[in-house]
Structure 1
Amino acid sequence: MNDLWLVIGLALLPGLGNFAGGMVAEFVRTTPRLLNLALHAASGIVVGVVAIELMPEALDNLAGWWIATSFAAGGAAYIGTEMLIERIAPSGSGGSSMWMIYVAVAVDLSGDGLMIGTGSAVATSLAIVLAAAQTLADFPEGYSVVANLREKKVSRGRRIAVSLSFPVYCLGAALIAWLLLRNAPDAAKYVALSFVAGLLTVAAVEDMLEEAHKAVGDTRSSTLAFVCGFALFALVSAGLDTLLGKDGSQGEGTSGVSTLRDYMLHAS
């Protein structure tokens, strides 16, 4: 039971970070330039998640054809979602692109939840690092969604409802992943991560950046925002690994991470 509450607590953190970013956009004046920069930063973060957390794990544990198949399936699932939304909200109204940003962030938070749930099934320390890093990294994503909705004249009540919905995706995905994967073969966990990598890559490249370009023309600052988004995720992730002693404690039973993990496990 303690493990379940730990998963719930960690899974709520990225969604709350996203919500905080949304509230900044809600109560602080936004401009097309700020929206462009936020979307570029958010895209950099998503690419960082794929490059730093997801694909290395898959490459170390799966055959190439499994990675290719699951990555392609994730991309195809995102395209299918995009086609469905385009049928509901025709692109001529601007509605489909607006809500695909919502879908992109929802997918990213679902990926966060999947990573946290899977990480909890593998090691408590891994889940802690992922949750803490994502909490900070999701802030500009929440900002970009609400700022985009403000640009499209969506009502405040609906914008706040959108922000409140994001923690639900992360929590739901984390619980599903933890319940289904905690006793599953390792290969199934890495296939799931590769699938999410496909979803996130298409979301960042095809929708977040496209919407950033529509907001206002790119400048060198836009490129720098993308790079800074990637660097932010890399630094936060690496910094937490170092802080918890993960990098320098391989094989040492008295490391900070091992002690924390043993405490959590024995507490249950």
Structure 2
Amino acid sequence: MAVLVALGAFLMTLAGGWTALRVTDRRHLVLGLAGGLMLGVVAMDLLPEALDAAGAEVFGVPAALLLFAAGFLLAHMGERLLAGRKAAHGAEEYDGRAPEVGLTTAAAMVGHSAMDGIAIGAAFQVGGGMGLTVALAVIAHDFADGFNTYTLTSLYGNARHQAITMLFADAAAPVAGAASTLLFRIPEHLLGGYLGLFGGVLLYLAAAEILPEAHHHHPAGRTLLCTVAGVGFIWLVVGAAG
């Protein structure tokens, strides 16, 4: 049952990527929406779940928040190291960005989607009602995952076929994750730490890369409205699932 439900996440992820692919003439609006979706996922989905799952504190600070900050810093250092290494070898970057960063980030999105599938499978192990509730939340925000996976990969100068490949990998990941729950269970505290770390990575990409790029050539009010709409969409999804 969990695997069949995860097929809905597969289709929704592809729908999100297809949307990002088709609106290339409104790239600034796409990026503004992507930034809002990412901000909403971090603030209203990843961080609350991380704090619930990894409730332990380290020197007075929740472990999930420490890992959240670590994820932000790792994303920043990783981008700078990859960009510096490429420049040192005399290779051109795409608008100052290394394509490896896009692929690495998309790979992290694939890992996150696999964890979504694991969450669906684990919830179904508890009960059918809980499984359907978790599946609804995952399927709804997987549209944003597919949208962001394609956008991030292409934004950093990767070829279109690479972005599409990462999109299909992201779409298949929830199905594989749900199937894997037939074999093992993931400790709750480790899941919480992962969500915190990944939340920091997404926030860095939204705040330091996606949104500045969206407003670089098109500082229009419509771009800002798209960002607000992205946050609002995630709020509605989380509220409906709750």
Sort the TM-score into its range (normalised by shorter chain): 0.7 to 0.9
User: Whole-Å Cα distance in 2 between the matches of residues 89 and 169 of structure 1?
Assistant: 30
Q: CA deviation at 1:12?
A: 5.3
Query: How many equivalent residue pairs?
Result: 227
Residues 18 and 141 in structure 1, CA contact (< 8 A), matched pair in contact too: no
Q: Are 2:158 and 1:163 equivalent residues in the alignment?
A: no
Selected match of 1:129 from 129, 136, 147? 136
Q: CA deviation at 1:110?
A: 2.8
Q: CA deviation at 1:37?
A: 1.1
Q: Are 2:39 and 1:47 equivalent residues in the alignment?
A: yes
Letter in 1 for 2:69: A
User: Whole-Å Cα distance in 1 between the matches of residues 27 and 113 of structure 2?
Assistant: 23
Letter in 1 for 2:131: T
User: Whole-Å Cα distance in 2 between the matches of residues 229 and 147 of structure 1?
Assistant: 20
TM-score by length of 2: 0.72
Q: Are 2:11 and 1:19 equivalent residues in the alignment?
A: no
Q: Are 2:13 and 1:38 equivalent residues in the alignment?
A: no
Compared with structure 1, are the counterparts of its residues 236 and 220 closer, same or farther at alpha carbon in structure 2 (3 Å cutoff)?
Answer: same
Residues 10 and 127 in structure 1, CA contact (< 8 A), matched pair in contact too: no
Compared with structure 1, are the counterparts of its residues 41 and 159 closer, same or farther at alpha carbon in structure 2 (3 Å cutoff)?
Answer: same
2:70 alignment counterpart:
73
Selected match of 1:144 from 144, 151, 162? 151
2:206 alignment counterpart:
204
Q: CA deviation at 1:169?
A: 5.2
User: Whole-Å Cα distance in 2 between the matches of residues 178 and 75 of structure 1?
Assistant: 33
Compared with structure 1, are the counterparts of its residues 29 and 224 closer, same or farther at alpha carbon in structure 2 (3 Å cutoff)?
Answer: closer
Selected match of 1:82 from 76, 79, 82? 79
Compared with structure 1, are the counterparts of its residues 158 and 57 closer, same or farther at alpha carbon in structure 2 (3 Å cutoff)?
Answer: closer
Letter in 1 for 2:24: T
What are the superposed Cα offsets for residues 150-179 of structure 1, whole Å, 9 maximum, x if unpaired?
A: xx5x65544533433333555566677886
What are the superposed Cα offsets for residues 93-114 of structure 1, whole Å, 9 maximum, x if unpaired?
A: 2173555345444434432432
Aligned residues with identical type, % of pairs: 23
In the alignment, structure 1 segments of 5+ residues that lack a partner are: 242-246, 248-268
User: Whole-Å Cα distance in 2 between the matches of residues 201 and 176 of structure 1?
Assistant: 28
Compared with structure 1, are the counterparts of its residues 225 and 205 closer, same or farther at alpha carbon in structure 2 (3 Å cutoff)?
Answer: same
* 1:254-265 matched pairs, under 5 angstroms: none
In the alignment, structure 2 segments of 5+ residues that lack a partner are: 124-129
Q: CA deviation at 1:41?
A: 0.9
User: Whole-Å Cα distance in 1 between the matches of residues 168 and 139 of structure 2?
Assistant: 19
Compared with structure 1, are the counterparts of its residues 80 and 187 closer, same or farther at alpha carbon in structure 2 (3 Å cutoff)?
Answer: same
What are the superposed Cα offsets for residues 26-66 of structure 1, whole Å, 9 maximum, x if unpaired?
A: 4x4622xx111111111111111111112223334513331
